[in-house]
Amino acid sequence: MVTAVTLCVAAVMGYWVLARSVHAQLDAAVLALAETEAGILAESRGQPVSVHEGTPGHGPFSFVRLDRLVQIIDGEGRVLARSANLGAAQLPASTGVLRQLAKGETVFETVYGFGDEPVRLVSVPVHVAGSLCAVQVAGSLDDVNHVVASAALLFLGLGVCLVLALGTTSALLTRRMVVAIDDIVQRARKIGQASLSQRLPHSDSRDEIGRLVETLNDMLGRLEHAFEAQRRFTADASHELRSPLSRLRAELEISLRRPRSAEEYKQALASCQEEVERLTLLVDELLVLARLDAGQERSPPDVVHLNQLLAEAVRRLEPAAQEKQIRLLHEDGPRIEAAVGAGPVNLVLGNLLDNAVKYSPPGSSVTVRVGQDAATAFVTIEDDGPGLSQEDLPHVFDRFFRGTAARSTEVAGLGLGLALSQAMIRAHGGHIEVANGPHGGACFVLHLPQAREGLD
């Protein structure tokens, strides 16, 4: 629609420019003849006033119109001389035109009703022997009007052809787009949960349809990844729930096979209690993860003193570290504040420090420090443990993932602590990075949004 309107406006503008150009050429022609006649008249001192007409030629007859009507008048409008082709007729000179001539102005006007054709008339003032005269030259507008009318028909036909061509092209393109979109819809309807690996056909074009297909294929890729993660999560959760339930059932079956002593029943109940606590912890962590995924666990941000929170976390883990003869080195620094909830940060710091203590060998140390850069406040926790293999690094924060070092030791765990920590920190605008430190141990960096001025 916009293109059609643009073409119509362009056609109208082209017609207007052509009409102005043709009229300008006629004005230039009559003005040139009038100025030539006025120049000759001004130089003819003492000579009778007359119109200087060319000598009739002897060539063949021509249909090209070259004739102009010429008339010389005085300041009162009386005719002093006229060209032969004017005959007894007199070009009009109104009172308004005479006043303009008296001011020395050249006057253009279009005269209707003079003869059988409209004419374009120019009046040029000239002084002869101290008296004001004027040379009037008129040219027929008949040829100009014919040219303009022909141009109007030409532009009209051109505009109609362009609109028809544009309409046909638009219809073809629209049909092509509709067919392509319909094909995409049909293919998309066939893609279900069991066939998310399929992709929509892509013609490698960079038009709107191509970008739409790319966007939908990217979305399918994200859905496939999300469904795969959900399937793995369900399978891992089922496995983690089955193991303690199987052990709990075995303990109960063994206890019920035959009468046992009070001490044996006490040991069986204690073992069952451990499995129940493990199940309770697992269910609680799964519940927190589900709430985080649903966006229900995000508390409003508050200004927290990171140095103080880290010092408290170190004090809580000090007994467990002393039991394993591990030193907790707290490198304090300037006061640093972050805009997060104190509860989630406490939990995450506890998880990271607990992992560092668990996997550090006796007699080693765990170093913790607080810092900040231009974008975030951060807490670094570095241990002297076995570190992480290159194969394990990308999966450290996956749910139920336990690295090679965790599987090869007797360290208890569910594989949810780091996943839960990462999810909680991301819900509060931060993230956790992991790498192997310069001494070979694991190095976790907790990035948090810095506190802004005015945040209470």
Q: Which residue has the tokens 């017609």?
A: 15
pLDDT beyond 80 at 248: no
Mean pLDDT for 323-335 is 85
Percent share of the chain, pLDDT over 90: 1
- Give me the pLDDT at residue 61, please: 37
Minimum mean pLDDT among 4-13, 33-42, 51-60: which range?
51-60
206 or 406: which leads in pLDDT: 206
More confident residue, 113 or 336: 336
List pLDDT tens digits, range 261-286. Answer: 888 778 778 878 777 776 776 666 66
Contact 364, 386 (CB under 8 A): no
pTM attached to this predicted model:
0.47
What are the pLDDT digits (tens) for 398-411?
766 766 555 545 55
Specify the pLDDT at position 65: 39
Is pLDDT above 60 for 56?
Answer: no
**Residue 355, pLDDT above cutoff 60:** yes
Average pLDDT, the chain: 77
pLDDT surpasses 70 at 456: no
pLDDT given for residue 419 in this prediction: 79
Ordered structural domains, the chain, with CATH: 1-44+67-189 (3.30.450.20), 208-293 (1.10.287.130), 302-449 (3.30.565.10)
Check pLDDT > 70 for residue 382: yes
For 285-296, the pLDDT digits (tens) are 666 666 666 665
For the segment 371-384, the average pLDDT, to the nearest whole number, is 86
For the cut 50, the answer to whether the pLDDT of residue 238 exceeds it is: yes
| Predicted pLDDT at 455 | 47
CA distance 400 to 106: 98
Q: Can you tell me the mean pLDDT for 76-104?
A: 86
Question: What percentage of the chain has pLDDT greater than the value 70?
Answer: 80
pLDDT tens digits, one per residue of 302-321: 788 888 888 888 888 888 88
For 383-429, what is each residue's pLDDT tens digit? 887 788 788 787 777 766 766 555 545 555 556 778 777 877 887 78
Residue 123 has pLDDT above 80, yes or no: yes
Position with higher pLDDT, 67 vs 123: 123
The three-state (H, E, C) secondary structure of the chain, written as one string: CHHHHHHHHHHHHHHHHHHHHHHHHHHHHHHHHHHHHHHHHHHCCCCCCCCCCCCCCCCCCCCCCCCCEEEEEECCCCEEEECHHHCCCCCCCCHHHHHHHHCCCCEEEEECCCCCCCEEEEEEEEEECCEEEEEEEEEECHHHHHHHHHHHHHHHHHHHHHHHHHHHHHHHHHHHHHHHHHHHHHHHHCCCHHHCCCCCCCCCCCCHHHHHHHHHHHHHHHHHHHHHHHHHHHHHHHHHHHHHHHHHHHHHHHHHHCCCCHHHHHHHHHHHHHHHHHHHHHHHHHHHHHHHHCCCCCCCCEEEEHHHHHHHHHHHHHHHHHHCCCEEEEECCCCCEEEECHHHHHHHHHHHHHHHHHHCCCCCEEEEEEEECCCEEEEEEECCCCCCCCCCHHHCCCCCCCCHHHHCCCCCCCCCHHHHHHHHHHHCCCEEEEEECCCCCEEEEEEEEECCCCCC
pLDDT band at 256 (very low <50, low <70, confident <90, very high): confident
Residue 179 reports pLDDT greater than 50: yes
